Structure 1
Amino acid sequence: MQSIILFIPALIANSGAVITGGHFIIDRGKKFIDGRRILGNGKTLSGYAGGIAIGTVTGFIIYLISTLFNYALGTYGTLAEAIIIPFIMATGSLTGDIAGSFVKRRIGIDRGGKGGLLDQWPFALMAFLFLYIFERPFFMYHYFYVTMIVILVIVPPIHRAVNIIGYKMHKKDVPW
């Protein structure tokens, strides 16, 4: 359970991007060699930076709360790691989201179109990959096999629920 709690920054980053996004479109309207948009208007620098910031701050808050309860929620390690590890997870998460959008455009799914697991897993998988690359000891301790599978199983319903909330708040055009 602690490993899932410690993964929250990766999950929150995606929602943070929706809240802070809308400015400075990453692909600047350009098209890829296939004639389709590279990413689309939904991927913005403000969302990317804002999502990373919100994910990082969330991780730091988890660390602070956990220290109050004798690390019952788990720990990222040192104070510096309580910033670095959530930053890595949030950055990986949003990079995965962007990669998922890139793949969706290549297979002909426009912005707002249903992408199934392409909407849900790339951000989690890329967060895992970034942790593996940049914080391997933390990754190996917390996210080896079973925990990764559990997170990948719970991500789709969580992602769907958050998107429905975002849609009802008029932050998203579609509820998926």
Structure 2
Amino acid sequence: MHPILEAFWYILPAYFANSSPVILGGGTPIDFGKTWRDGRRIFGDSKTWRGFLGGLTVGTLIGVIQQIIYPYYPSLSLAFKVSFLLALGALVGDLIGSFIKRRLNLPPGYPAVGLDQWGFLISALCFAYPVHTIPTGEVLLLLVVTPLIHWGTNVLAYKMKWKSVPW
């Protein structure tokens, strides 16, 4: 597989996990409405259990489907593990970003350049690293193009009325 395609094929579960909560979210907030010691919400209402678990499920399933379509890993079980870790890492990275944004007193949904685009990606790569990784050049490619993809998908989600703001 060409390195550019390999990079995107590898990270696709994280991309799907990160974007799925926009559609699948709602319900009980992950922080249960609790506040941090600064008096601000830990994550906010936009981070919900349904979105988190939905994103984890979608990201993992995407990886399994990818493996069925094009066997990239030596086994389906490895594909499952890597996809699960990429999805989990993406969602945890997004939660970390929300936590930081709340500490900075930024409202939910407010753009934080860099944090929104790279937080989920770096976290996903770190979570999956012990099981499988991609070459450094492919990681660098993802670091460059992910902000553009993130921006494009946010605009699309806004136009589809899945998001109330285009960022």
Asked if these proteins are the same fold (TM beyond 0.5), I'd say yes
Specify which of 61, 67, 74 is matched with residue 63 of structure 1.
67
Gap runs ≥5 in structure 1:
68-74
How far did residue 19 of structure 1 move? 1.3
Deviation per CA, 1:6-36, whole angstroms, max 9, x where unpaired?
2110111111121110111111111111111
CA contact (8 A) 1:6 1:76 kept: no
Residue 155 of structure 1 pairs with residue 143 of structure 2: no
Of residues 90-99 and 146-155 in structure 1, the stretch that sits farther from structure 2 once superposed is 146-155
For 2:106 and 2:143, the matched residues in 1 are separated by: 22
How far did residue 39 of structure 1 move? 0.7
Report the count of equivalent residues: 163
Specify which of 149, 160, 163 is matched with residue 169 of structure 1.
160
Give the equivalent residue in structure 1 for 2:136. 145
Alignment of 1:27-46 (within 5 A): 27-46=31-50
Percent sequence identity over matched residues?
A: 40
For 2:146 and 2:7, the matched residues in 1 are separated by: 14
Give the aligned residue type for 2:95.
I
How far did residue 49 of structure 1 move? 0.5
CA contact (8 A) 1:6 1:62 kept: no
Give the aligned residue type for 1:12.
F
SS in 2 for 1:153: helix
Gap runs ≥5 in structure 2:
none
Give the aligned residue type for 2:116.
D
CA contact (8 A) 1:27 1:38 kept: yes
Give the equivalent residue in structure 1 for 2:120. 123
Specify which of 84, 88, 92 is matched with residue 89 of structure 2.
92
Q: TM-score, normalised by structure 2?
A: 0.93
Give the equivalent residue in structure 1 for 2:22. 18
Alignment of 1:43-54 (within 5 A): 43-54=47-58
Deviation per CA, 1:124-159, whole angstroms, max 9, x where unpaired?
0000110124x1xx21xx1x4221111011111111
